[in-house]
Amino acid sequence: MPKDARATRDALIHAGAHLFAAHGIDATRTRDIVALAGQANDSAVTYHFGSRDGLLNAILRAGITRMEPARAATLPTLHPDDPHTIVDAIVRPTADELRTPHGRDFLRITAQLAGRAGIRDHQTPPLLHDTALQHQLHILETACRATLPEPLALERISLFIAFLTAALADRATRTHHPRTPPPAPEHDTFTTDLTAMLTAALQAPHPNPFA
């Protein structure tokens, strides 16, 4: 890809991520993305990404790709008998997105999409196919199904994703706001506590153990 075209794509990805995060996926106008990216042609998004959804997918793919090496490194260490380690391996690379502006935009976008993860009906989004994250979630499902009926295990994992993305988006928003002090607690303490909370939620007693 020519250097100028790559620079334009990158500018559109950064502008789109910022506006999708700030104003919402549905409310953001394509013309505003193009303007923020410094482009004069309103068809720039269509030309480079095929559509507005194509731009959103490129933003999501960039975030998933950033986390892949850290996630892949955990896979040999994960076992269904150790839910805490599995949850930590999922949470920590995601929480590390809080460290950069692009990462914080990504987190604020993913919170808007948490209900589309396809966990309850095993309809994994194409962007996650054969990723380390998909493998992590599969191991987590195996761990949950060891003590829970499948529908309840899938429901808990779906809620786990919703809670995780909401918590990180909230912290990303507070970190982004220039007039607020840095969120407390500090990053590592926050991540460790979030991991503990989510692990406890997944391991909560079955409301009907004889079902």
Task: Find tokens 């999501």 and name the residue.
Answer: 60
Stated pTM of the model: 0.91
Instruction: Write the pLDDT tens digit of every residue in 85-136.
Output: 999 999 999 999 999 999 999 999 999 998 777 778 888 889 999 999 999 9
Cβ(12)–Cβ(45) under 8 Å? yes
Q: In whole angstroms, what is the distance from residue 114 CA to residue 157 CA?
A: 11
Distance between start and end Cα atoms, the chain: 57
Query: Mind giving me the DSSP string for 108-152?
Result: HHHGGGGGGS-TTTT---GGGTT-HHHHHHHHHHHHHHTTS-HHH
pLDDT (tens digit per residue) in 151-201 = 999 999 999 999 999 999 999 998 866 666 767 789 999 999 999 999 999
Rounded-to-integer distance, Cα 150 and Cα 108, Å: 30
Helix (H, G, I), strand (E, B) or coil at 210: coil
| Structural contact between residues 8 and 44, judged by C-beta atoms closer than 8 angstroms | yes
